[in-house]
Amino acid sequence: MSTTPEVLDDHRIKFTIDVDEARINKAMDSFVRELQRTAKIKGFRPGKVPRTVLEAHIGGSSALRAQAIEGVISDAYVEALNESGVEPLSDPQVEIIEGKESGPLKFEATIVVRPSVSVAGYQGLEVVIPDMEATEEEVDAGIDRVREQWAELFSKDGEVIVGDVVTLDVDVSVSDSGSNGMHLDDYVYEVGRNSEIPELDKHIIGATKGSVIVYSPSDRQPDGLGTDSDDDVSRDIDGDKGSGIDTGETGVEQENVADREAVTAKENRGDEGQEMDNAQARSTDEDSQSFPLEIKVVVKDIETKVLPELTDEWVQEATEYEDVDSMREDIRKRIEQYKSSSVRSLFPRQVLASLNDLVGEDPPAELVEVEFGRELADFSKRLEEAKMTWEQFVEASDDNGNSIISRFHDSAVASARADLALRAVADAEEIDVDDSLNDLLSKIASRSNKSLAEVREHYEHSGQLVAMRSELRKEKALDWLLHNVHVKDSSGNDIDNELLLTGDSHDVDNVHDSEGSDDSGVTEGLEE
């Protein structure tokens, strides 16, 4: 077999492949033997059917040759890819030039490939990471969140302010819909915590005990979800959700944490949230005609929170610490552990984002489509693990799934751009992965109880060996970047790359909560 590649343009390559007649005849003989083994023809025992009968059974010698040529083309095309190291983005467009009826075979296979992109400036790439030191304000806020767990409530007569705890009677009606709406007695709510009741904070602040407030929300959320963002980070420290930042693998593999939170948020909002959902759902009929909500709120009681005085005596009595200073230092340490863990997790994505900015060309649509398929496949797998359907997820999120699909597409474009950029870095740095590829194939061979030669032949024959080599080169290119980019924090200080590449990236998960102290919310509200 001989192969002649021809570059048609930046996105396409045409292979002209010649196959001798002996290989065609061998493929035809092999196909006949397989037919003899499996064909069931009346009057003949299995394996004893004459070749002429088999040929007649499948449509004659020309049909037999066509079947054999189909297999030969497939094998010869994969061999051409392995020989050239070209990784296609599309199935080949095949045209037989000679040998369809007899003699040697010549065919052309045209494929779409990745373009070469420029990443000029990658060697001087600079990345800015968030500061990892805790500020005094963050430490103070962490201490206050611990103190809030021992706060006392006292009734007050003044106006409602953020942080007050109010007791309300709430009536929600849907105008002109014939719906009965809903009613809540003694609804207790801490002002500023994003109530399930739309725009409640906006209208309740400044009210006094006995106030009656009637309003129609101007911007209702379709599912009535509050954000509850302040609680998210405290749950992170407990380890319930992890760091909230995906470290990812090679490329821009983003874990759509917000999507998973949307799945669980609707399930965890309690009876009030579900009743609000029902009322809002009733505000739109089958023809999507919108009916306005009217909300009536009666302020029955207002209480203010009084935190315990921060003294050494209170710290000894209420927490595991001996004094205020030791408490401050431990909270500072927790905050900095959280920040450093988050920054280390975020670092590879920041490097890729900076590298992507160097790529001026748009990635080809075929590559974006490949990455988009991966995004959807990964997300579908997560939904399956969560025992959810796409319809259930969309119902628990924002809008008919349109913004979700748009987000996947944007992520696919970023992944495609990163794919091209990392390959360019690998080429520029002349990265070799022969040893790494052998190590990987050896591990696969060991796990599958096969020889290294058998495993390599399998991946070569399936056309996957080139892709495996490319992925390893991209991984090494990213590793080179992680060790060589110039890193500064947001205050302008130079940061040693090794600090971001070593250490336990899950320090925050190992922080213990000793008996008698629950300060798991000390990092609540920190920006990721």
Supply the pLDDT for residue 13: 94
pLDDT for position 522 = 53
- Is there a shared CATH topology between the 2-112 domain and the 152-226+269-306 domain? no
Q: How far apart are CA 425 and CA 433, in angstroms?
A: 14
Beta partners for residue 12, in sequence order: 9, 112
pLDDT of 293 reads: 83
Q: Would you state the pLDDT for residue 180?
A: 63
Residue 126, pLDDT > 60, answer: yes
Q: Looking at the predicted structure, is the pLDDT value of residue 29 above 90? A: no
**pLDDT class for 506, splitting at 50, 70, 90?**
very low
pLDDT band, very low/low/confident/very high, at 291 (cuts 50, 70, 90) = low
Residue 317's pLDDT band (boundaries 50, 70, 90)? very high
pLDDT of residue 404: 82
pLDDT above 60: residue 231: no
Q: How confident is the model at residue 58, as a pLDDT?
A: 76
Q: Tell me what percent of the residues of the chain surpass a pLDDT of 90.
A: 59
Instruction: Output the average pLDDT for the chain.
Output: 81
Domain 152-226+269-306: state its class: alpha beta
Q: What is the pLDDT of residue 264?
A: 37
Q: Structural domain boundaries of the chain? A: 2-112, 152-226+269-306
Mean pLDDT over 347-353 rounds to 95
Res 227: pLDDT: 35
The answer to whether the CB of 254 falls within 8 A of the CB of 244 is: no
pLDDT (mean) for 125-147: 95
DSSP 121: T
| The CATH number of domain 2-112 is 3.30.230.10 | no
pTM: predicted TM-score of the whole model, two decimal places:
0.69
**Four-point Cα dihedral 327, 328, 333, 335, nearest 10:** 110
CB 6 within 8 A of CB 108: no
Q: Give the mean pLDDT of 329-354.
A: 94
Bridge partners of 16, per DSSP, are 4, 108
DSSP string covering 386-425 = TT--HHHHHHTSSSTTHHHHHHHHHHHHHHHHHHHHHHHH
DSSP code of residue 490: T
- Of 9-13, 240-244, 297-301, 335-339, the one with minimum mean pLDDT is 240-244
Cβ contact 369:423 at 8 Å: no
Residue 494 has pLDDT above 90, yes or no: yes
pLDDT at 137 over 50: yes
Q: What is the pLDDT of residue 132?
A: 93
Question: Looking at residues 347-369, what average pLDDT do you find?
Answer: 93
Q: Do strands 152-155 and 105-112 pair parallel, antiparallel, or not at all (unpaired)?
A: unpaired
Kindly tell me if the per-residue pLDDT of 478 is higher than 50.
Answer: yes
Q: In this model, does residue 270 exceed pLDDT 60? A: no
What pLDDT is stored for residue 361 in this prediction? 86
Q: By C-alpha distance, which of 443, 420, 271 is closest to 360?
A: 420
- For the record, the structure tokens of 331 come out as 């909270």
Whether pLDDT at 416 is above 50:
yes
Q: Which residue has the higher pLDDT, 238 or 99?
A: 99
Is residue 339's pLDDT more than 70? yes
Of the two residues 151 and 518, the one the predictor is more confident about is: 151
Strand order in the sheet with 126-129: 126-129, 486-489, 494-495
